[in-house]
């Protein structure tokens, strides 16, 4: 069940979670594959909270971390497995959305007696024994803050920094409409004890690598206008990554360069991640609900930003996805 802040249902979930959290001795946290600032930020914030309160917390992470967030304190503590000899009281599933997205990682879930799932994605059912699902929250870090605040424990600088990065990155540095009064209220409290936010901004947004510039350049150079210019698309093939030695994370955020083109309604970026496996990022700048479209391909996300992974050759996948968007646009036009 989705809850919204503030409210009695929300409060009840927080009480349940705080009770578990304060009594737990051994915890672990897991997030969706290719953790972003919010997923990793929430894991690290929990880790630092546990350090402050004398609990053992293991951070599970299986993928390379983007440079923009790998500087966060505690990132170097990420592990790929859980020690066999520990009984875990509690696990926090940070925006793990659904089991399908988690793949083999779901095998870790039963290692904890109680699982808490925090998520702000749309339409999530909840993979925990206790779920705190708030579609109106800017980020998972915002939901976690609501819990940690309730414990009354003073949050360390490292913990506040991690929460700040999660909220900052998921709101596009406070530019999107998910930056609510509540998100700003939380940010005010995080800053109050002296976070140096311009340093954080520089580390997240003004640091780049050669590979990243090259991959983003390829994406921009290949931009194609389709469907009378209402759709723009670009792509990256496996050979682009191997030729430059770039990782998938170097392509993160590249869709931004094409989704800000005047007059478009949908921007698409196709990334070949393995032979015949293509990740698709969708951005909508108008009325097209790209989450609905991504769901046709077993993906998900938000109305204006979604993703999916399809099997097939990249050209076929591009054709199929563009055709389904064009069909939605035509249907909407016909209905007017």
Q: Which is nearer to Mn ion, 75 or 138 (CB)?
A: 138
- Which is nearer to Mn ion, 38 or 252 (by Cβ)? 38
Among 14, 38, 165, 182, binds Mn ion (CB under 5 A): 38
Minimum CB distance to Mn ion smaller for 114 or for 139: 139
Nearer of residues 190 and 321 to Mn ion, judged by Cβ? 190
Q: Contacts with Mn ion in 82-101 (CB under 5 A)?
A: 95
Which pair of tokens denotes residue 222? 């290949």
Q: How far is the CB of 323 from Mn ion (least distance, A)?
A: 30
Three-state SS string over the chain comes to: CECCCCCHHHHHHHHHHHHHHHHCCEEEEEECCCCCHHHHHHHHHHHHHHHHCCCEEEEECCCCCCHHHHCCCCHHHCECCCCCCCCEEEEEEECCCCHHHHHHHHHHHHHEEEEEEEECCCCCCCCCCEEEECCCCCCHHHHHHHHHHHHCCCCCHHHHHHHHHHHHHHCCCCCCCCCCHHHHHHHHHHHHCCCCHHHHHHHHHCCCCHHHHHHHHHHHHCCEEECCCCEEEEEECHHHHHHHCCCHHHHCCCHHHHHCCCCCCEEEEEEEEECCEEEEEEEECCCCCHHHHHHHCCCEECCCEEEEEEECCHHHHHHHHHHHHHHHHHHHHHHC
Output 95 or 134, the one with its CB closest to Mn ion: 95
Q: Which is nearer to Mn ion, 140 or 259 (CB)?
A: 140
For residue 156, the tally of other CB atoms under 10 A from its CB is: 16
Shortest distance, position 132 Cβ to Mn ion, whole Å: 13
# chain residues binding Mn ion, by CB under 5 A: 5
CB of 138 to Mn ion, least distance (A): 8
Comparing CB distances to Mn ion, the nearer of 10 and 237 is 10
The least distance separating Mn ion from the CB of residue 41, rounded to whole angstroms, comes to 9
* CB of residue 139 to Mn ion, shortest distance in Å: 5
Stretch that binds Mn ion, among 33-41, 224-232, 239-247, 299-307 (CB under 5 A): 33-41
Q: Which of the stretches 36-44, 171-179, 199-207, 263-271 binds Mn ion when contact is defined by CB under 5 A?
A: 36-44
Does 142 bind Mn ion (CB under 5 A)? Our answer is: no
Residue 170 binding Mn ion, by CB under 5 A: yes
- 252 binding Mn ion? (CB under 5 A): no
Of the two residues 35 and 90, which places its CB atom closer to Mn ion in the complex? 35
Using Cβ positions, the residue closest to Mn ion within the complex turns out to be 38
What's the sign of the alpha-carbon dihedral 290, 256, 204, 30?
Answer: positive
Shortest Cβ 255–Mn ion spacing (Å): 16
Interface with Mn ion by CB under 5 A: which residues? 38, 95, 139-140, 170
């Amino acid at each position: 069940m989705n809850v919204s802040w503030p409210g009695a249902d929300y409060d009840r979930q927080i009480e349940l979670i705080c009770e578990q959290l304060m009594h737990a001795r051994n915890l672990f946290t897991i997030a969706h594959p290719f953790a972003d600032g919010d997923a990793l930020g929430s894991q690290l914030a929990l880790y630092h909270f546990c350090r402050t309160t004398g609990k053992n917390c293991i951070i599970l992470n299986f993928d390379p971390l983007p440079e923009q967030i790998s500087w966060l304190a505690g990132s170097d503590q990420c592990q790929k497995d859980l020690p066999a000899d520990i009984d875990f009281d509690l696990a926090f599933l940070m925006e793990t959305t659904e089991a399908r997205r988690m793949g083999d990682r779901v095998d870790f879930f039963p290692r904890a007696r109680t699982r808490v799932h925090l998520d702000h994605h749309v339409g999530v059912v909840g993979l925990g024994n206790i779920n705190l699902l708030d579609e109106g929250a800017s980020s998972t870090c915002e939901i976690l803050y609501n819990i940690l605040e309730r414990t009354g424990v003073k949050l360390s600088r490292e913990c506040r920094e991690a929460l700040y990065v999660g909220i900052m990155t998921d709101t596009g540095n406070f530019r999107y409409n998910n930056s609510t009064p509540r998100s700003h209220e939380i940010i005010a409290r995080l800053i109050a004890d002296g976070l140096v936010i311009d340093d954080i901004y520089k580390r997240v947004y003004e640091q780049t690598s050669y590979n990243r510039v090259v991959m983003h350049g390829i994406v921009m150079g290949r931009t194609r206008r389709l469907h009378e210019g209402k759709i723009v698309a670009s792509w990256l093939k496996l050979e682009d990554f191997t030729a430059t030695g770039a990782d998938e994370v170097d392509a993160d955020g590249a869709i931004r360069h094409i989704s800000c083109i005047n007059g478009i309604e949908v921007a698409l970026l196709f990334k070949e991640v393995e032979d015949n496996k293509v990740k698709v990022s969708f951005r909508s700048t108008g009325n097209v609900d790209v989450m609905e479209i991504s769901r046709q391909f077993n993906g998900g996300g938000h109305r204006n930003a979604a993703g999916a992974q399809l099997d097939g050759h990249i050209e076929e996948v591009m054709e199929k996805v563009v055709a389904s968007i064009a069909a939605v646009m035509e249907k909407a036009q016909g209905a007017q």
